[in-house]
Amino acid sequence: AQSVSQHNHHVILSEAASLELGCNYSYGGTVNLFWYVQYPGQHLQLLLKYFSGDPLVKGIKGFEAEFIKSKFSFNLRKPSVQWSDTAEYFCAVTHNNAGNMLTFGGGTRLMVKP
């Protein structure tokens, strides 16, 4: 069974610091990759996704992620975080042999200090 690992469970940054959240997955075949964000009290929202093509994907709110197939990784980055980025971030994967079910990582809780 495939799995998704997010190495950082909690991250605390000051405003304007750069962010990189790690995500690794275990499946070796063709995958679709996602980052979702959950702001306090809100539902999961899609930040960005990778299906194919350019491995550097740009999403909403200045986030981007890079798919590195050889490393089974899809790390999320933002050059300069804001207080409003305080949220929980989830990496997720689907693959062709598992229909459309999303397999999520355990999440990373980000706190940005003003």
Partner 1 sequence: DTGVSQDPRHKITKRGQNVTFRCDPISEHNRLYWYRQTLGQGPEFLTYFQNEAQLEKSRLLSDRFSAERPKGSFSTLEIQRTEQGDSAMYLCASSSRSGSQHFGDGTRLSIL
List residues binding partner 1 (CB under 8 A): 4, 6, 34, 36, 42-46, 49, 90, 92, 99-107
CA-CA-CA-CA torsion for 68, 56, 43, 93, nearest 10 degrees? -30
Rounded CA separation 38/107 (Å): 10
Question: From the CB of 110, what's the least distance to partner 1, in Å?
Answer: 15
Q: Which is nearer to partner 1, 17 or 88 (CB)?
A: 88
Question: From the CB of 20, what's the least distance to partner 1, in Å?
Answer: 19
